Amino acid sequence: MRVYLRTFSLCIVIALLSLVFLFSKHDAESFSAVLKHVRAPLEPSVAKNLNGATKSKQRPTATTSHRPRDVAHKVTSPGQRETMQLAVVACGERHGEAVNMLKTAATLSSRALRFHIFAEEQLHTSIKTALDSWPAFIRAKFSYIVHPISYPHENHKEWSQLFKPCASQRLFIPMILKEVDSLLYVDTDVLFLQPVELIWDMLTHFNSTQLVAMAPEHEEPRIAWYSRFSRHPYHGKTGINSGVMLMNLTRMRMTQFKNDMTSVDLHWDELLMPLLQKYKLNITWGDQDLINIIFHYNPEMVFSFPCHWNYRPDHCIYGSNCIPAEEEGVLMLHGNRGVFHSDKQPAFKAVYNAFKHYIFGQDLIKSFLLPLEAALNGTTHTYCGKVSHFFTRGLGKSVRKIQRMLPAGG
């Protein structure tokens, strides 16, 4: 018995040591690779947390057999330099919001971007006019394409009326953008507070079964929506929020998904209609609920990233409950429930307006960062205002770095 125990603990120690070695090696590699391309600040703690999230989500056995090889391959492959593909769906009044989101991505990112904007026909002109009006040094960072809204013909009506107009469009993106390997989908009411490349590089941290990355819907199961009210299965302890969704579309098209409708696994495009039929009377948040049901049955496909990549009023409205944001600042801000436009959460609105009113070419510190900090100082009567230094922490550093790289007098 004792011999067995000793051998066992020796094995554990060796396994732990090799893990530590592999991770430190990998951290250093991917971190320097990120730094090389980003040319914008990345707090070491951010990278650490990202890797930490991966680590804690993986069984050690899987880690030793899969990750190092995958990662080593990815880091040296040209994949990192690939254009980052960013998608948004804009309908109704949402196009101004979408353009502001794209503005934050273009302002803060250094790597090449391609925007896929799905929008109702009548919005195309104004979206194109807005993007074409940006100065050449910003235009040089991205290309874009405006797509019409399209649904499978036979079920057009049903899909287009689910939840909000057009919200379910994103479920069909893997089939529409057949040539695109990977894509970051964001809701229109999202703002980047750090370069897009930081989230994009999470793709290289996926293990062999993961094909989407999202944040939990809530940090606290006792007050979370899904665990208290939903009438359908959901992912994890609190469900997932689909407002920021990083996808390997190649894998989504290839993979067959377990489900509770048939005994056979189904491809993504075969899955959606039966799912809607089965659950349409029970879902509240439309496409996000469907995504939760799908990944409830396929949890190994989800890379779950921490809340500061999808920071919502829920994280501060009654006091701060997103610990990574306290430690590393907010990386992406998600103003759901209309808070960018109402007066309910003035701290969220202040960030939205600071980007909206910033004119490209003006000094980012004088004309963007300082006015934003002043506006946030006026919101400290709210809980979210009290923690609004989380919003400007990484943003301030990024903006200072970008400003230093801009041509003088520009």
* Contact residues: ligand NAG, CB under 6 A: 57-58, 62, 66, 79, 181-182, 203-204, 207-210, 231-232, 248, 250-251, 278-279, 282, 299-300, 370, 373-374, 377
- The residue among 104 and 304 lying less far from ligand NAG, judged by its C-beta, is 304
- The residue among 130 and 261 lying less far from ligand NAG, judged by its C-beta, is 261
- The residue among 148 and 378 lying less far from ligand NAG, judged by its C-beta, is 378
CB of 200 to ligand NAG, least distance (A): 8
Q: Are 352 and 338 in contact (CB under 8 A)?
A: no
Sign, CA dihedral 239-244-249-251, equals negative
Roughly how many angstroms between the first and final C-alpha of the chain, as a whole number? 74
CB of 259 to ligand NAG, least distance (A): 12
- The residue among 129 and 282 lying less far from ligand NAG, judged by its C-beta, is 282
Which residue of this chain has its Cβ atom nearest to ligand NAG in the complex?
62
- The residue among 282 and 342 lying less far from ligand NAG, judged by its C-beta, is 282
Question: Tokens in use for 8?
Answer: 């066992």
- The residue among 267 and 278 lying less far from ligand NAG, judged by its C-beta, is 278
Query: Looking at the DSSP assignment, which residues form a beta bridge with residue 332?
Result: 192
CB of 303 to ligand NAG, least distance (A): 7
- The residue among 188 and 288 lying less far from ligand NAG, judged by its C-beta, is 288
- The residue among 182 and 188 lying less far from ligand NAG, judged by its C-beta, is 182
Q: Are 141 and 106 in contact (CB under 8 A)?
A: yes
How far apart CA 1 and CA 4 sit, in angstroms, is 5
CB of 223 to ligand NAG, least distance (A): 20
CB of 135 to ligand NAG, least distance (A): 26
CB of 93 to ligand NAG, least distance (A): 31
The four Cα atoms 363, 364, 370, 375 give a dihedral, to 10 degrees, of 120
Please report which residue ranges of 86-193 form alpha helices under DSSP H.
95-108, 124-132, 136-139, 156-160, 173-176
- Sequence-distant (6+) residues with CB within 8 A of 286 are 162, 163, 164, 167, 168
CB of 112 to ligand NAG, least distance (A): 14
CB of 392 to ligand NAG, least distance (A): 9
Considering only CA atoms, which of 163, 126, 133, 128 is closest in space to residue 146? 128
Please report which residue ranges of 280-409 form alpha helices under DSSP H.
287-296, 323-328, 346-357, 364, 370-377, 383-386, 389-405
- The residue among 79 and 165 lying less far from ligand NAG, judged by its C-beta, is 79
What are residue 118's phi and psi, to 5 degrees? Answer: -90, 120
CB of 201 to ligand NAG, least distance (A): 9
Considering only CA atoms, which of 269, 243, 271, 247 is closest in space to residue 259? 271
Angle between helices 60-76 and 2-38 (to 10 degrees): 30
